[in-house]
Each structure stands twice: as C-alpha cells, then as structure tokens.
Amino acid sequence: MAILKIVTTKDGMDTLRKVSRPVTEITPRIHTLLDDMTETMRVAEGCGLAAVQVGVLRRVVVIEVEEGEVYEMINPEIIDRHGRQEEPEGCLSLPGESGITRRPRTVTVRAQNRNGEWYELTGSDLLARAICHELDHLDGKLYTDVVIRDVEE
C-alpha cells in the first residue's frame, strides 16, 4: 500500500471542485486505490476520504468512524435521509479549519463494494455526517459550502 498526497484547497481547489465520474469497471487498479486511500486516511487521522482528495476523479469513497470498520463505497448515492444534526466538521483537504454544519441525523446510502456487489448502509450521527461529507466531495462540494457557522476557539 502507498500513502497518497492529499489535495488541499491551497494547491488543488480546481481539482476539489470537479465532479467525479462513475466507476464503470471495478479493476485491480480500483482495489489498489481503495487500499491506498484507507491507508492514507488512517495516517492522516481522518474518518473519511474521497478519491478526488487524492487527485482521482472517480466516485470512490472510504470511511472509518470506528476503528477497524472500513466502509468502501463505489458509485455511492444517498437514497434516504432523516432528522437533523448540527455538529462540528473538518476536512483533510482544509487542514486546521472547521465549522458547524447542518446534516441529516440518519442517511441510507446505496453503493458497490470492491466486488461490484450493490449494498445499502444506514448510518446515524458521525457516520451519517461522514457519508454526506464524502459524497459531497464527489460532486465538487466542500463542507464549507454548507457550514452554518465557524467553530469558536
């Protein structure tokens, strides 16, 4: 596995604002990307990473809000959302910044796993926030687009 360079707003705002393309074929290259993204996310001490954040414009996301429980999502889309939460949010692509966002309390996402099989996952609280955050990246959005106020020091 390799540690990939995380694109930040300082060096890659154009990249971060692009819409990622669907994965049409799951190849060994996609498997390597998933593995490298997971390792990169862990080293950076994040809880999620979208492929665009490592310069790959494909609809691929990894999330780990509980140690050892990695969700790999290919071509994910949110199919249901309920409730509301307002919590602090940050981003590996905006180091040192954070803000309060308004997100659904619970979301259900439909995605493919590394074997191309479709599955659904329902998550609440931090997992729901991470899913929304990472899927926003795939559409060229940053959490700062939905921040309702800055975190007070």
Per-residue confidence (pLDDT) for residue 152, from 0 to 100: 65
CATH number of 9-150: 3.90.45.10
- Which of the residues 64, 72, 89, 134 is marked catalytic? 134
Question: Would you tell me how many other CB atoms lie within 10 Å of the CB of residue 121?
Answer: 15
Q: Specify the pTM.
A: 0.95
Amino acid found at 21: R
pLDDT, tens digit, for every residue of 83-112? 999 999 999 999 999 999 999 999 999 999
CA atoms within 13 A on the CB side of 122: 5
Note if 25 is an active site residue.
Answer: no
Measured CA to CA, the distance from residue 127 to residue 109 in angstroms comes to: 11
Provide the residue ranges of all domains of the chain, joining segments of one domain with +: 9-150
- Say yes or no to pLDDT of 114 above 90: yes
- Work out the mean pLDDT of the chain and round it to a whole number: 96
